[in-house]
Structure 1
Amino acid sequence: MGEVIGSQNDTWVRAEDASAIGSLRRTAVVLAESRGFDEEDTGRVAVAVSEAASNLVKHATEGSMLIRPHPELASAIEVIAVDRGPGMRDVSRALRDGYSTAGTLGIGLGGIARMASGYEVHSMPGRGTVLGMYFTARDAPRPRCRVSGVTRPIGEERVCGDAFAAVDAGTTVTFVLCDGLGHGSAAAHASQEAVRLFLEHADLPPVRLLERIHTGLGQTRGGAVAVTRVDRTAGTVSFAGLGNVSAWITDQTGRQGMISVPGIAGHQARTLRQYEYAVPPHSVIVLHSDGLSERWDVNAYPGLLTRTPSVIATTLLREAGTRRDDACVLVVRPDA
């Protein structure tokens, strides 16, 4: 089938006081130990997470952290720290040895970068910073970092009604995003059922896949669903959508929307259609639920499209997400 990438029940932890630092460190250590990291590798994770969390607590505005198995490689750990300010004018300076933010553990961003197996930063003065990093055990495989997404439930809900999944077969990558109708456990059940059906029939063309999902969601609340396949060799994308999922081919010149037909998967649908699009070099595919406004513009974030999919998705969630609905962003780099 290929490499399977899937959404999880992402738990974002607000880092607003010192107690959050220890809690986040413990979460990271438990996850590292469960992945078979030895004492030295677990220590790297603990120190890097503590430093990043300390920076959020002391200097950030609305700082949050996500610690989870890496979506592309369950044996790896992904950590994402995001805030709304104050941002950095010169990220390269922050990465230099000897430069650290006063009052933290003192290793600075450069130390975090050396401890991580891989990292990416996007920051703008007055807008905030997104730091994405992953950790693997020594000599273990590393994730490709070409498909990722993030979810966030509405308000204080514990589960998100949106979900995504992808199958990366090398020359092609096929992916789905489902926005379960409403929110809470019933919406989550619908979106997870859509993911299950997608993985069961992932070799079908997108419109046939969407038909299977539409039929299979009849006993659930239903939702909006989009199925997409990128052919990396041909430089094309095939898209079939039902309902209000936003889908974009995005590059530095702007973005092109992909067309969904109105309806609710599992309940109401016109004739389903599949559309074909060209994918320009160095572009990314962005799918998101209506938990994000469509009023984002990548040109407002210089350099963002060169970052990893996790950092792109988290930045868009921060900038365009609304707390009035579940939110999900999926980013795919076709030419990676």
Structure 2
Amino acid sequence: MVAVTAEPPVTEDVAWFRIDDRVTAGTARRAAAALAERLGFSGSRGAEVGLATMELASNLHKHADRGSLLLREVRTGDTSAVEVATVDHGPGMSSTGLAFLDGHSTTGTLGIGLGAVRRLADATAVRSGPDGTVLTALFTPGPGPVPREPFAGVTRPMTGEGACGDAYAVRRDGGRLGLLLCDGSGHGPLAATASALAVRAFLGSAPTAPDAMVRRLHEAMSGSRGGAVAVAELDQDRGVVRYAGLGNIGGSVVAERRRGMVSLPGIAGYQARSVRMFEYPLPPGAVVVLHSDGLTDRWELAPGLGAHPPLVVALTLLRDAGVRRDDASVLVARAERA
């Protein structure tokens, strides 16, 4: 039995949509409404989710360069929520405050879209600048608490693939937060199966140090395609992050500057000659980032980005650094400030 307190939400990235026209916007709306129905939302609440998704997608089509929409399921205990995120490459909003006001428009329309989204959603977040806009909206089936966690992850399959070979998981063991990121070898369903084995072993094992956990993942992935794995443990009481990695997962702690964490060569499930744990300082407010090699290592957190919700940070990094033709994933966690 796993000793986990206050079990974190489990998130599934259901589908990505490249919003090139109104037809795709309509497809995203129908998919969001269908997801809400599958999760037990009432008919009226599901219609609201679909309407908000259509507004977000239409906004991308009208105003944005290379806009994409992500549909997610967020499970917390016995409750599931729908989360919609949009990402684009500009030109950005001149004022995010004005953009969410009813009646504000830059194209001569009624300008009620984003205002309606904010009213219908249980929680929203936005970051916008000349490089583009990232916006998230969470919809619960009814009144109740909205999960606000200091971590978030996101995955995106390689273009042309229906399944993403990357996966992540988060667990709490007492006062410590454990992170896993796995990049299954190759692409498609077999890579996704390898990553799923790692997630199952990570969540189903008794608490242990990151290096011992990586060895467990290596054993659990035997017989699969294998993959690159990394485990980080945030210990805020001691102000440290413990880290062990096998393969080409990128790990960093970002405080006043970015400090890379060391992964050793190998393939979990195939070859693990040496697994070691390293320890790094974790100042209050620091951001820990794990990512697969679908992202280039040449990224930096823009000034002020680390203060945004972790999902906004993860989506921004995916947009800006996820330029390789590959499965891609980012997991972000923030140390609480004293």
Instruction: Give the TM bin, normalised by the shorter chain.
Output: over 0.9
Higher mean displacement: 311-320 or 146-155: 146-155
- Cross-structure match for 1:123: 128
CA displacement at 1:219 relative to structure 2:
0.7
Segments of structure 2 that go 5 or more residues without pairing to the other structure are none
Cα deviation 1:148-196 (Å, max 9, x = unaligned): 1111111211111111011135622111101111212221111111111
Is residue 295 of structure 2 the alignment partner of residue 292 of structure 1? yes
Q: Deviations over 1:269-328 (max 9, x none)?
A: 2321111222112121110000000111113xx322121111111111110002421111
Q: Which of 43, 52, 56 is the aligned partner of 2:56?
A: 52
Instruction: Give me the TM-score of the superposition, normalised by structure 2.
Output: 0.92
1:162 paired residue among 162, 166, 175: 166
| Distance (Å, rounded) in 2 between the aligned partners of 1:7 and 1:118 | 16
Q: Which residue of 2 aligns with 1:271?
A: 274
Which of 181, 186, 208 is matched with 2:185 structurally?
181
Alignment of 1:298-309 (within 5 A): 298-299=301-302, 302-309=303-310
SS state of the match for residue 140, structure 1? Answer: coil
Aligned residue for 1:224?
228
Deviations 1:122-166 (A, max 9, x none): 1112x1111011011232231123221111111211111111011
How far apart, in 2, do the equivalents of 1:101 and 1:157 lie?
A: 36
Correspondence list, 1:69-148, <5 A:
69-70=73-74, 75-102=80-107, 106-125=111-130, 127-148=131-152
**Structure 2 partner of 1:61:** 65
Tell me the secondary structure at the aligned position of residue 188 of structure 1: helix
CA contact (8 A) 2:9 2:76 kept: yes
- Report the TM-score when normalising by structure 1: 0.92
Judge conservation of contact 2:294–2:327 (CA < 8 Å) in 1: yes
Q: CA deviation at 1:44?
A: 2.8
Confirm or deny: 8 A CA contact 1:10 1:68 kept in the other structure.
yes
| Unaligned residue ranges in structure 1 (runs of 5+) | none
1:26 aligns with 2:30: yes
Query: Partners of 1:254 and 1:164 in 2: how far apart?
Result: 25
The structure-2 alpha-carbon separation of the partners of 1:285 and 1:62, relative to structure 1 and needing over 3 Å to count, comes to: same
Distance 1:41 1:321 in 2: 34
Which string of whole-angstrom CA distances, capped at 9 and with x for unpartnered residues, describes residues 193-252 of structure 1? 11111111151221111111112222111111001111233322111111110011113x
Secondary structure at the residue paired with 1:264? coil
- What RMSD in Å do the two structures reach over aligned CA positions? 2.0
Aligned residue identity for 2:229:
V
Q: Distance in 2 between matches of 1:257 and 1:193?
A: 27
Q: Which secondary structure does the structure 1 equivalent of 2:12 belong to?
A: coil
Alignment of 1:197-208 (within 5 A): 197-208=201-212
Deviates more, 1:169-178 or 1:258-267: 169-178
Q: Distance in 2 between matches of 1:104 and 1:328?
A: 37
Spell out, residue by residue over 1:32-55, the C-alpha distance to the aligned partner (whole angstroms, 9 max, x if none): 222232244333322221111111
Instruction: Please report how far the alpha carbon of residue 7 of structure 1 lies from its aligned counterpart in structure 2 after TM superposition.
Output: 5.4
Q: Does the C-alpha gap of structure 1 residues 90 and 100 become closer, same or farther in structure 2, counting only changes over 3 Å? A: same
SS class of match (1:315): helix
- CA distance 1:102–1:71, shift in 2 (3 Å): farther
> Contact conserved, 2:295 with 2:324, CA < 8 A, in 1?
no
In 2, Cα distance between the equivalents of 1:142 and 1:54? 26
| Structure 1 residue 152 corresponds to structure 2 residue 156 | yes
Is contact 1:238–1:277 with CA below 8 Å preserved after alignment? Answer: yes
Q: Which moved more, 1:217-226 or 1:100-109?
A: 100-109
Aligned length: 332
CA distance in 2, matches of 1:244, 1:6: 25
Deviation, 1:102, is: 2.5
The 1-side partners of 2:269 and 2:42 are apart by 47
| Matches of 1:168 and 1:100, distance apart in 2 | 44
State whether residues 10 and 151 of structure 1, in contact with CA within 8 Å, keep that contact through their aligned partners in structure 2.
no
AA matched with 1:156: G
2:335 corresponds in structure 1 to 334
Pair 1:72–1:202, CA change in 2 (3 A): farther
Relative to structure 1, the CA distance from residue 233 to residue 71 in structure 2 (aligned partners, 3 Å threshold; closer, same or farther) is farther
Q: 8 Å contact 1:93–1:99 — kept in the other structure?
A: yes
Q: Deviations over 1:1-52 (max 9, x none)?
A: 2414445354211111111222111111122222232244333322221111
Q: Is the 1:240–1:274 contact (alpha carbons within 8 Å) kept by the matching residues of 2?
A: yes
Distance 2:109 2:140 in 1: 25
